[in-house]
Amino acid sequence: MMGALLYDFRGWDAPLELFKYYRNTPFHMRVIDFYITGLGMSFIGAILYSLVTMLMSLLVKNNMISLLLSLGLYYVPMFLGNFIPIDSIGRVFREINLAEAVRIVGMFVSPSTYNIFGTPVLYSTVLISLVIVFIPIVICLIRYFGKKQTI
C-alpha cells in the first residue's frame, strides 16, 4: 500500500498480462482486480489455516507440538511434493495445500488444470473450491471437539 501511495495509484487499470510473470495467466483482468481478488483469496486461505491451527490446538494438549504441527501443515506438503517421483501426485502436493491457499501468486501465474470428472478445471478454481468446502467442515470439527473439552 505504501508503494501505491508513493506512485499515486497510477496503473491500476493496466492489464495484468503486461507484467513479466503474469503473461501466461488465463485471466483477463486489470491490476486492481488482481489486487482485490488476491486479497480476498488470501483472506479466505488465512481463515482456513487459522481454523485448522485451532483444531490442531484443540486436539493436541502440548502447545509446542501444536505449533510444530501447524508449521508442518504449512510447509511439509510443498516439501514432499518435490520428492515424490510420480509427477501427477507431486504436482497435487505442490499446488493444493494451505500455503498456496494463502499465497495467491501461483494461482495466477501458471495456467494448470485438473481433470475432474472429465472436465478440465483451472487450478485456482479447484483450490478456492476446496478451501470454501473445508471451512465449514473444520468449524464443525472445532465445535464437536470443543464440546468434549473440559476447562
Residue 6 lies in a domain: no
pLDDT digits (tens, 9 = 90+) for 18-52: 777 777 777 788 888 888 888 888 899 899 999 99
SS3 37: helix
Q: Which is it for strands 113-116 and 119-122: parallel, antiparallel or unpaired?
A: antiparallel
CA distance 52 to 48: 6
Per-residue burial over 16-34, b if 16 or more Cβ lie within 10 Å, else e, is: beeeeebeebeeebebeeb
pTM, two decimals, is 0.78
Residue 34 lies in a domain: yes
Instruction: Quote the crossing angle between the two packed helices 63-81 and 31-59, to the nearest 10°.
Output: 130
Residue 5 lies in a domain: no
CA distance 79 to 84: 9
Residue 77 lies in a domain: yes
Cβ–Cβ < 8 Å for 25, 111: yes
Residue 44 lies in a domain: yes
Range of the domain at 121: 14-148
pLDDT digits (tens, 9 = 90+) for 106-137: 777 777 787 788 888 877 788 888 889 999 99
Residue 116 lies in a domain: yes
* Lookup: cell for 32: 486492481
Residue 2 lies in a domain: no
| Residue 41 CB neighbour total at 10 angstroms | 20
Structural domain count, the chain = 1
